[in-house]
Structure 1
């Protein structure tokens, strides 16, 4: 008995050490992937705060809701941002007067179908244009539908509070020297970065814990039908919290296990909503709205992807 105890102790210590190394690797990889885009996002948010006025916003956004939603989704599709970096941009846009539904359209399409994501999808699937086009087309339709529902249900901005960073920075003033305005932009961006980064760290921490200590094989207990496999892939997309510029390579690795419809759900759902992004959204919007947005994205993405299986 005395001889067995040291062996068991050594085994447990080794397992804990290996699991902690895995957790540490995943946690750092999520942060390293996300932080550059968050930096870009807060710089753009600072630019919007200092150089863009409410009059500019009103001139750019069509008064027709459908046209506003469509335009926001098109602009988002052309904007290279990840699901983390786009959150501070959307918060600043909505705070400046962009309607909630237009902000949501931009929020959903930006990380999902921007040029970098489409190219990476094309390359990940062996230069297969079909999957890239399906991701772009089905994802765009789903984003438009989600934003339209938001435009019908919600009339207010649903922002939780005014950002602390926004309250301490001067409002746009064309009479100020350019150097002063750039200084204010950088000051705002720094405040915004520290405000958003703490939620990114919490989200990355939770995602890393789940990836390390929850076995992916447990998800396969639900079965292997089309509906079950689609739900599994959407769950994986949510909890893995991958950067949208790299998720296609992970999705492609499941081609021998899941049908293309389920993989398409993985590629569309993850960039729209994932674990770390949810925590960041909770820091910006009211919790009830984030919960309803989560249900809305889940149901509409599932329905759109499932319908493609009949085409």
Structure 2
């Protein structure tokens, strides 16, 4: 799991470094819709352009929020980015036998869940729930870049990207390694059969698949192949719960979230994602059988 996730964490921290060095605060403020609903939809949509899984999305989101993106838009991006990016959708298409139906279900349910969660977050949390507010540090970096009345050279900005990426990588990486260790323990000591026999009705089967997605902590680029192996055992609704919940919340990124955001915010976020994923999967099960 560590070897599978590290490349995507590396991509995430490098993107975070580029955002820190090259993206100005007023640029994000200029393109971000002022309307709350439109801002959340904007956050849901830009995930298509960031090929990052749930392992690398946390530092990217933190950097965007510190650069001026509203919390609700950032959370919408963080939840949908690991699911609706082209790499994940294409892997889902291949895993389910070149079937676009499951691709559409996965993407649609992800956007619906993220929208509902982000909307409630925007009404509940009025201040940024970071453990450490680094907005002042970012501002200091900006001042260093423009001191003496001239912008920093490309070389200095690239150096800034690398330094920031290294610091972010080791900051996030320790949570990734510990989370992967816990997930491996779960896979080793908790037999999957204990979970499978509970999937006798739509509610319990969706809850089982949500729990399974959390425990085995697969990367979103690979989880569709595991989900496809359960097609003969679980319904479309419960499979959609697995495909949506896992990339949003698993052991690895829960620890990363706890290292970035305050505990209360993380627990509320997990509860909201669980409730809306369960509800959405039941609706999917009713529609698609």
Q: TM class by shorter-chain length?
A: over 0.9
The one of 110, 121, 129 equivalent to 1:139 is: 110
The one of 35, 39, 58 equivalent to 1:68 is: 39
The one of 108, 123, 136 equivalent to 2:94 is: 123
Larger Rg: 1
> Per-residue CA shift, 1:257-294, capped at 9, x if unaligned?
11111111111110111111100000100000000000
Paired residue secondary structure (1:55): helix
| Structure 1 residues 149 and 168: CA distance shift in structure 2, 3 A | closer
**Which residues of 2 match residues 1-311 of structure 1 at below 5 A?**
30-162=1-133, 170-171=141-142, 172-173=145-146, 175-311=151-287
With 156-165 and 241-250 compared, the bigger mean Cα shift is at 156-165
> Per-residue CA shift, 1:173-202, capped at 9, x if unaligned?
361222111111111111111111011111
Q: Which runs of 5+ in 1 are unaligned?
A: 1-29
- Inter-partner Cα distance in structure 1 for 2:52 and 2:254: 16
Paired residue secondary structure (1:242): coil
> Per-residue CA shift, 1:195-254, capped at 9, x if unaligned?
110111111111111111111122235351111111101100011100001100000000
RMSD, aligned α-carbons:
1.8
Q: TM-score, normalised by structure 2?
A: 0.93
Paired residue secondary structure (1:222): coil
CA contact (8 A) 1:169 1:184 kept: no
CA contact (8 A) 2:37 2:119 kept: yes
Paired residue secondary structure (2:55): coil
State the shift of 1:309 in Å: 2.1
Aligned length: 282
- Inter-partner Cα distance in structure 2 for 1:136 and 1:223: 24
Q: Which runs of 5+ in 2 are unaligned?
A: none
With 285-294 and 146-155 compared, the bigger mean Cα shift is at 146-155
> Per-residue CA shift, 1:62-90, capped at 9, x if unaligned?
11111100011000133211001011011
With 115-124 and 219-228 compared, the bigger mean Cα shift is at 219-228
CA contact (8 A) 1:169 1:188 kept: no
Q: TM-score, normalised by structure 1?
A: 0.87
